[in-house]
Structure 1
Amino acid sequence: MRRIRSFAVAAAAFAAVFSAVPAATAASAASAASGSLAAYNCSPGYFCIYSGWNGSGTRCQWSQASLANTADNCSFIQRGQNVRSVWNKTGHRIQYYTQTNYHARVGSTQAGTGGNLQGSYQIRSFKPQ
């Protein structure tokens, strides 16, 4: 009888420990997500790109609908750094390209959204979709 009781107590303790892990993970994930949204500092009406994850690092922003060469006025693109995150506060979806003059489309971001990218390329031009 003692063996069964010990097993039951151990099983209950095991279940209590492992059932608490997902809740803690979910809470920390929610906290991280809300904290990372606060990092995106992008003015209304602008398309913003960042050299760091979650809107960190150097920011370049543009209010025009399209730009044939982002290196003309973005310091971290001029230094050869990749774009790791974007935010689109325009009223339209933005398509972006790894080459100037709208060549080699790599992705797009809907109006009012953004986030981390793959981080292995530069955005060299963009325009509305």
Structure 2
Amino acid sequence: MRPVTSLALAALALTAALGTAPAASATAAAPAGTSAAAAFHCDPGHFCIYSGWDGGGTRCQWTAEKVANTADLCSFIRNGKNVLSLWNGTGHRVQYYTQTNYNARVGSTAAGHGGNLQGSYQIRSFKKQ
């Protein structure tokens, strides 16, 4: 009976760990010896958002310090699609918002990081810190 209890506790711990990770913060770092930035195809110095998971789908990218309305230059945002992943290739933390003009902050990502998001919202504005 003891091995079943240990397995159940391990499964519960794993579920708790995965369930408490912040959905609005993309913080995946590149594993040693690999380049996550290359997997996301984001030019150096750019903040990139994607319509697909893991940097797939349509990419929109910017070098600007801040963008008040991402739909101005991003077709998939303009067409109503959500952001499923992002990569921050800038030298600064980037805060992002679900509304234009930097309203309704939903998350932030450190420089040189990125990953999959919750996928239930659009990034309508952002600014570097």
Q: Distance in 1 between matches of 2:34 and 2:58?
A: 18
Say if 2:90 is the partner of 1:90. yes
Q: Which residue of 1 aligns with 2:63?
A: 63
Aligned partner of 2:60: which letter? C
Q: Which has the larger radius of gyration?
A: 1
Q: Which residue of 2 aligns with 1:49?
A: 49
Aligned partner of 2:59: which letter? R
For the 8 Å contact 1:39–1:56, the answer to whether it is kept is no
Q: Distance in 1 between matches of 2:77 and 2:95?
A: 17
CA deviations on 1:94-113 (whole Å, 9 max, x unpaired) are 00000000000000000000
TM-score by length of 1: 0.71
The Cα of 1:36 is off from its aligned counterpart by: 9.4
Matches within 5 A, 1:1-129: 37=36, 38-129=38-129
For the 8 Å contact 1:95–1:126, the answer to whether it is kept is yes
**What runs of 5+ residues in structure 2 fail to find an aligned partner?**
1-30
Q: Which residue of 1 aligns with 2:20?
A: none
Aligned partner of 1:59: which letter? R
TM-score by length of 2: 0.71
CA deviations on 1:20-57 (whole Å, 9 max, x unpaired) are xxxxxxxxxxxxx8999343000000000000000000
For the 8 Å contact 1:36–1:54, the answer to whether it is kept is no
The Cα of 1:89 is off from its aligned counterpart by: 0.5
**Closer, same or farther in 2 for the Cα pair 1:77/1:36, shift >3 Å?**
farther
Which of the pair has the greater relative contact order for Cα pairs under 8 Å at 6+ separation? 2
For the 8 Å contact 1:70–1:125, the answer to whether it is kept is yes
**What runs of 5+ residues in structure 1 fail to find an aligned partner?**
1-32
Q: Give the secondary structure class of the aligned counterpart of 2:87.
A: strand
The Cα of 1:74 is off from its aligned counterpart by: 0.1
Q: Distance in 1 between matches of 2:82 and 2:70?
A: 12
Q: Give the % identical residues.
A: 72
**Cα-Cα RMSD:** 1.8
The Cα of 1:127 is off from its aligned counterpart by: 0.3
